[in-house]
Amino acid sequence: MMNDIKRVFLIVLDSFGVGNAPDSSDFGDQGANTLKSVSQSPYFNIPNLISLGFSHVEGAEFLGNGSLQAQVARLQEKSRGKDTTIGHWEIAGVVSEKPLPTFPDGFPESFIDAFSRATGRPVICNKAYSGTEVIKDYGKEHLETGALICYTSADSVFQIAAHEDIVPTEELYEYCRIARQLLTGELGIGRVIARPFNGEYPFKRTKNRHDFSLAPPTDTLLDSLKADGFDVIGVGKINDIFANQGITEYVYTESNADGMTKTSHYQSRNFKGLCFVNLVDFDMTYGHRRDRDGYAKALTEFDGWLGDFIKKMKPTDALIITADHGCDPDYKGTDHTRECVPFILYANGIEPKSLGTIQGFDYIASTVKNLLKG
């Protein structure tokens, strides 16, 4: 591996799975394939990814016989999960042998009672629900009573929705911190998520979402790099996913476009280490809402930006593109899908080749360490 790399840009296309996880049936996701579904859209156009070698990733050969300028692979997750937290942790070197707990039938009344007492507000819903539908169905009651709309999904999450006129954003964040302190042990879910909304019925979610994650159980790649004096920059929800551990600098984003703009900003700056980027719209805005065309448009937009980013890379830069799970927009339900993810490594002097299928997203952690530490 090269030892003259000074900066690694690790970009996670949140939920861009490439299907074919051998254990997908264990998760009820047999046959899910985000790439295959999105590629059926007339808006799907990713020439820069294909030029790097994306069509040489196992399972993506149907995209055609494109060139090969990078090292590419298909990564199979070791951890027992298909959520953002576990996916990113494994990317950073932490394999979760046990899945984080989920509560598809709602959280225990003992927790709900304790949370309600601590916040001074009643709780409504406490079910698995779509985030857009829950504010339609419970928003009016929330406005009338001030009760917090609490819900979950198939993921390991506790979500709190509130109208910004009833519960100011910072107050909602404090309620999330209270929930995070209570949700430990057997209730130790991956994320508590603030879901503020505003306007009149049927209401609209705002850009002030905030995630409060469970801390990783052990040190991650980020901790190791930080301890060795490298810069570790988080773009998007990276800082939240790692509970502010191992990060030297971070910035939140409002959209994929905002995330790409801020990543370009860091590309123009001098630093030494890792810029870890999450582009969340693929998952949050298009995958969960089962919007195939929207997903395809977002990939096309990213691909256009990617071409410019590659042109501006320095000889001592490395680029890694991957994902954390799937979210097939053509699959049943609205939840994540258990899939393999792509791995693309592009850098000056890299030997272009297809590495086949590799066990473990943690291959990325070892790759970043080798690139930066030699």
Q: How confident is the model at residue 334 (pLDDT cuts 50, 70, 90)?
A: confident
The string of DSSP letters for 269-310 reads: S---EEEEEEE-HIIIIIITTT-HHHHHHHHHHHHHHHHHHH
Answer yes or no: is pLDDT of 82 > 70: yes
Q: How far is CA 160 from CA 134, 169, 181, 240, 292, in A?
A: 10, 11, 15, 16, 27
Rg (CA), the chain: 20
Contact 145, 139 (CB under 8 A): no
Instruction: Give the burial class of 120: count Cβ atoms within 10 A of its Cβ; 0-12 exposed, 13-18 middle, 19 or more buried.
Output: exposed
Tell me what the mean pLDDT of segment 266-294 comes to: 97
Contact 232, 274 (CB under 8 A): yes
Answer yes or no: is pLDDT of 3 > 80: no
Which pLDDT belongs to residue 1?
A: 46
Tell me what the mean pLDDT of segment 269-274 comes to: 98
- Helix crossing, 292-311 with 256-267: angle to 10°? 10
Domains along the chain?
7-97+216-373 (3.40.720.10), 109-213 (3.30.70.1250)
Which pLDDT belongs to residue 2?
A: 56
Tell me what the mean pLDDT of segment 17-24 comes to: 96
Which pLDDT belongs to residue 154?
A: 83
Taking all residues of the chain, what is their mean pLDDT, rounded to a whole number? Answer: 96
Tell me what the mean pLDDT of segment 174-201 comes to: 96
pLDDT digits (tens, 9 = 90+) for 335-365: 999 999 999 999 999 999 999 999 999 999 9
Q: What kind and span of H or E run contains 123?
A: strand 123-128
Q: How far is CA 159 from CA 127, 134, 135, 195, in A?
A: 10, 11, 12, 7
Q: How confident is the model at residue 125 (pLDDT cuts 50, 70, 90)?
A: very high
pLDDT digits (tens, 9 = 90+) for 22-76: 999 999 999 999 999 999 999 999 999 999 999 999 999 999 989 999 999 999 9
CA-CA-CA-CA dihedral for 164, 167, 170, 176, to nearest 10: -110
d(CA 35, CA 342): 10
Q: How confident is the model at residue 243 (pLDDT cuts 50, 70, 90)?
A: very high
pLDDT digits (tens, 9 = 90+) for 202-220: 999 998 999 999 999 999 9
d(CA 363, CA 73): 10
Is the Cα torsion angle 74, 77, 83, 89 positive or negative in sign? Answer: negative
Contact 110, 134 (CB under 8 A): no
- Indicate the pTM of the whole model: 0.91
d(CA 87, CA 37): 21
